[in-house]
Structure 1
Amino acid sequence: MKLTGAAKALVDKGMEAASKNADKIENAIDKTAAAAETKTGGKLTSQIQRAAFAAKRAIPPKK
Protein backbone atom coordinates (compact mmCIF):
# COMPACT_ATOMS: atom_id res chain seq x y z
CA MET A 1 0.00 0.00 0.00
CA LYS A 2 2.83 2.42 0.79
CA LEU A 3 4.45 1.81 -2.58
CA THR A 4 1.21 2.62 -4.38
CA GLY A 5 0.87 5.87 -2.44
CA ALA A 6 4.46 6.84 -3.20
CA ALA A 7 4.01 6.07 -6.89
CA LYS A 8 0.81 8.13 -7.02
CA ALA A 9 2.55 11.05 -5.32
CA LEU A 10 5.39 10.85 -7.83
CA VAL A 11 2.96 10.79 -10.77
CA ASP A 12 1.04 13.73 -9.32
CA LYS A 13 4.26 15.68 -8.95
CA GLY A 14 5.18 14.94 -12.56
CA MET A 15 1.75 15.97 -13.82
CA GLU A 16 2.01 19.23 -11.89
CA ALA A 17 5.45 19.95 -13.38
CA ALA A 18 4.18 19.15 -16.88
CA SER A 19 1.19 21.41 -16.34
CA LYS A 20 3.38 24.32 -15.26
CA ASN A 21 5.67 23.88 -18.28
CA ALA A 22 3.05 23.01 -20.90
CA ASP A 23 4.21 25.73 -23.30
CA LYS A 24 7.82 24.50 -23.19
CA ILE A 25 6.72 20.90 -23.72
CA GLU A 26 4.55 21.85 -26.70
CA ASN A 27 7.47 23.77 -28.20
CA ALA A 28 9.72 20.72 -27.77
CA ILE A 29 7.08 18.50 -29.44
CA ASP A 30 6.89 20.91 -32.39
CA LYS A 31 10.67 20.97 -32.78
CA THR A 32 10.87 17.19 -32.57
CA ALA A 33 8.13 16.79 -35.18
CA ALA A 34 9.92 19.22 -37.49
CA ALA A 35 13.19 17.30 -37.08
CA ALA A 36 11.41 14.03 -37.82
CA GLU A 37 9.86 15.58 -40.94
CA THR A 38 13.31 16.63 -42.12
CA LYS A 39 14.88 13.25 -41.42
CA THR A 40 12.14 11.33 -43.24
CA GLY A 41 11.99 13.72 -46.16
CA GLY A 42 8.27 14.28 -45.64
CA LYS A 43 7.41 10.63 -46.28
CA LEU A 44 5.73 10.14 -42.90
CA THR A 45 4.05 13.51 -42.49
CA SER A 46 0.62 12.24 -41.44
CA GLN A 47 2.03 9.82 -38.87
CA ILE A 48 4.31 12.48 -37.40
CA GLN A 49 1.47 15.00 -37.18
CA ARG A 50 -0.81 12.45 -35.48
CA ALA A 51 1.92 11.58 -32.97
CA ALA A 52 2.58 15.24 -32.20
CA PHE A 53 -1.15 15.89 -31.75
CA ALA A 54 -1.49 12.90 -29.40
CA ALA A 55 1.54 14.01 -27.38
CA LYS A 56 0.11 17.52 -26.99
CA ARG A 57 -3.24 16.11 -25.86
CA ALA A 58 -1.47 14.13 -23.14
CA ILE A 59 -0.13 17.31 -21.52
CA PRO A 60 -2.29 18.25 -18.54
CA PRO A 61 -3.97 21.67 -18.80
CA LYS A 62 -2.47 24.63 -16.97
CA LYS A 63 -3.90 25.32 -13.56
Structure 2
Amino acid sequence: MSMLDKLKNLMKGHPDQTRHGVEKAGDAFDARTGNKYQSQVDKAQEKLNDQTGTGRQQRPEDR
Protein backbone atom coordinates (compact mmCIF):
# COMPACT_ATOMS: atom_id res chain seq x y z
CA MET A 1 0.00 0.00 0.00
CA SER A 2 1.46 3.35 -1.02
CA MET A 3 1.79 6.31 1.29
CA LEU A 4 -0.92 8.20 -0.59
CA ASP A 5 -3.32 5.27 -0.16
CA LYS A 6 -2.63 5.23 3.58
CA LEU A 7 -3.27 8.99 3.80
CA LYS A 8 -6.49 8.66 1.82
CA ASN A 9 -7.72 5.99 4.23
CA LEU A 10 -6.91 8.20 7.21
CA MET A 11 -8.70 11.19 5.67
CA LYS A 12 -11.77 9.26 4.55
CA GLY A 13 -14.81 10.63 6.30
CA HIS A 14 -13.10 13.88 7.32
CA PRO A 15 -13.27 16.10 4.22
CA ASP A 16 -13.47 19.41 6.09
CA GLN A 17 -10.44 18.62 8.24
CA THR A 18 -8.50 17.41 5.20
CA ARG A 19 -9.28 20.54 3.19
CA HIS A 20 -8.37 22.71 6.18
CA GLY A 21 -5.05 20.88 6.62
CA VAL A 22 -4.12 21.31 2.95
CA GLU A 23 -4.95 25.02 3.12
CA LYS A 24 -3.02 25.49 6.36
CA ALA A 25 0.06 23.72 4.98
CA GLY A 26 -0.03 25.83 1.82
CA ASP A 27 -0.44 29.03 3.82
CA ALA A 28 2.51 28.07 6.03
CA PHE A 29 4.67 27.42 2.95
CA ASP A 30 3.62 30.77 1.47
CA ALA A 31 4.54 32.53 4.71
CA ARG A 32 7.98 30.88 4.82
CA THR A 33 8.74 31.79 1.19
CA GLY A 34 7.27 35.29 1.26
CA ASN A 35 4.56 34.25 -1.25
CA LYS A 36 7.28 33.79 -3.88
CA TYR A 37 5.66 30.56 -5.10
CA GLN A 38 2.05 31.41 -4.33
CA SER A 39 0.61 30.42 -7.71
CA GLN A 40 2.42 27.06 -7.66
CA VAL A 41 1.27 26.43 -4.08
CA ASP A 42 -2.32 27.22 -5.03
CA LYS A 43 -2.16 24.75 -7.92
CA ALA A 44 -0.67 22.09 -5.62
CA GLN A 45 -3.43 22.69 -3.07
CA GLU A 46 -6.08 22.26 -5.78
CA LYS A 47 -4.51 19.03 -7.02
CA LEU A 48 -4.22 17.64 -3.49
CA ASN A 49 -7.84 18.45 -2.78
CA ASP A 50 -8.89 16.82 -6.06
CA GLN A 51 -6.84 13.67 -5.37
CA THR A 52 -8.20 13.31 -1.85
CA GLY A 53 -11.76 13.98 -2.97
CA THR A 54 -12.05 17.18 -0.97
CA GLY A 55 -11.99 19.57 -3.92
CA ARG A 56 -14.16 22.66 -3.87
CA GLN A 57 -17.70 21.86 -4.88
CA GLN A 58 -19.04 24.17 -7.55
CA ARG A 59 -21.99 26.18 -6.38
CA PRO A 60 -24.71 27.09 -8.91
CA GLU A 61 -23.54 30.73 -8.97
CA ASP A 62 -19.95 29.60 -9.84
CA ARG A 63 -20.99 27.87 -13.06
TM-score bracket, shorter-length normalisation: 0.5 to 0.7
Gaps of 5+ in 1: 1-7
Identity %: 21
TM-score relative to the length of structure 1: 0.66
TM-score relative to the length of structure 2: 0.66
Larger relative helix fraction:
1
Structure 1: 4+ residue segments shifted above 3 A: 11-17
Gaps of 5+ in 2: 55-63
Structure (1 or 2) with the larger CA radius of gyration: 1
Query: Looking at both structures, which has the greater relative contact order when contacts are Cα pairs under 8 Å and sequence separation is at least 6?
Result: 1
Measured in 2, the distance between the counterparts of 1:43 and 1:23 equals: 27
